[in-house]
Amino acid sequence: MWLAKFTAKHATCILTPLCVKHKVTDFVSLLNAWKEEDKGKYFYTEFHTVQGTEAQVSAFAKDLKKKVKHLERKGNFIFTMNEEPLEKEAYDPAFERKIIYVKPVMVHHDGNEYWEVASWEKEPITNLLNIKVLNTKLKSMKKTKLSDVFFPRIMPKLSPKQREALELAVKEGYYDYPRNTDLETMAMIAKVKRQSFQENLRRAEKKLVPFLTENML
């Protein structure tokens, strides 16, 4: 199987300017896409996992709702359904059924997109890379065997404070080896007491670790 990693500067993406505006990072999984010739449109459904504070995610979702056909939100998880005119044939390679989205597309708050896709054939990936509006920059493409494929799942329900503590711990390198930060420093960044931050982080870990273990069985 062919595997490619690349970055993109999507000129017409509705998500990128919103991620930059609200300082959130959106992990986007394309769930399905279809054409309706009589309506002259593409339709596609996406699942979003948005990283940011509760206020940032809420503002992001509010703006996004104005730009899509349907939107449902639960915490930092968002489902959307959108449409594009059929004459935008440049998008055909992105909706190609031969493309496997190995990981969600990461739309970063710095304005860049990070893609990882696979296909049994090289040509569908090459066609995707050649979409002009994506402005892609190839990092790597090789023929390999996939050892891990991402499947989006609704994660355990975390409170906003638990989720923010967990995201901050990851961002600051708390789970790196050796650790790049400690609880005291993260509590200062979060502007809460050390004990409160530690409790939120531990509660998040207690919910998350059994969930991941169960999904690995």
Question: Hey, which of 2-11, 36-45, 60-69, 94-103 has the most confident mean pLDDT?
Answer: 60-69
pLDDT score of 87: 67
Residue 6 in this model has a pLDDT that exceeds 80: yes
Last residue of a domain, one of 143, 172, 199: 143
Last residue of a domain, one of 143, 173, 196: 143
* Average of per-residue pLDDT across 65-86: 92
Residues 125 and 168 in one domain: no
Residues 94 and 165 in one domain: no
pLDDT score of 149: 57
Average pLDDT taken over every residue of the chain: 87
pLDDT score of 158: 82
Residues 17 and 72 in one domain: yes
Q: Encoding tokens for residue 86? A: 């059929």
Determine, yes or no, domain membership for 155: no
Which residue, among 113, 99, 90, has the nearest Cα to 18 in the 3D structure? 113
pLDDT score of 85: 82
Determine, yes or no, domain membership for 66: yes
Residue 216 in this model has a pLDDT that exceeds 60: no
Determine, yes or no, domain membership for 171: yes
Separation CA 155–CA 80 (nearest Å): 18
Determine, yes or no, domain membership for 74: yes
pLDDT score of 217: 41
Residues 194 and 135 in one domain: no
The tally of domains found in the chain comes to 2
Separation CA 167–CA 161 (nearest Å): 10
* Average of per-residue pLDDT across 77-93: 80
Confidence class of residue 212 from pLDDT cuts 50, 70 and 90?
A: low
Residues 187 and 138 in one domain: no
Residue type, 121: E
Confidence class of residue 96 from pLDDT cuts 50, 70 and 90?
A: confident
pLDDT score of 214: 46
Residue 155 in this model has a pLDDT that exceeds 80: no
Residues 139 and 164 in one domain: no
- Contact (Cβ atoms closer than 8 angstroms) between residue 4 and residue 98: no
Last residue of a domain, one of 143, 171, 199: 143
Residues 79 and 170 in one domain: no
Determine, yes or no, domain membership for 95: yes
pLDDT score of 22: 96
**In which residue are the tokens 């899509």 written?**
68
pLDDT score of 147: 65
pLDDT score of 56: 93
Structural domain of 113: 2-143
Separation CA 101–CA 116 (nearest Å): 7
Confidence class of residue 187 from pLDDT cuts 50, 70 and 90?
A: very high
**In which residue are the tokens 């449409």 written?**
83
Determine, yes or no, domain membership for 61: yes
The least confident of 47-51, 87-91, 110-114, 135-139 is: 87-91
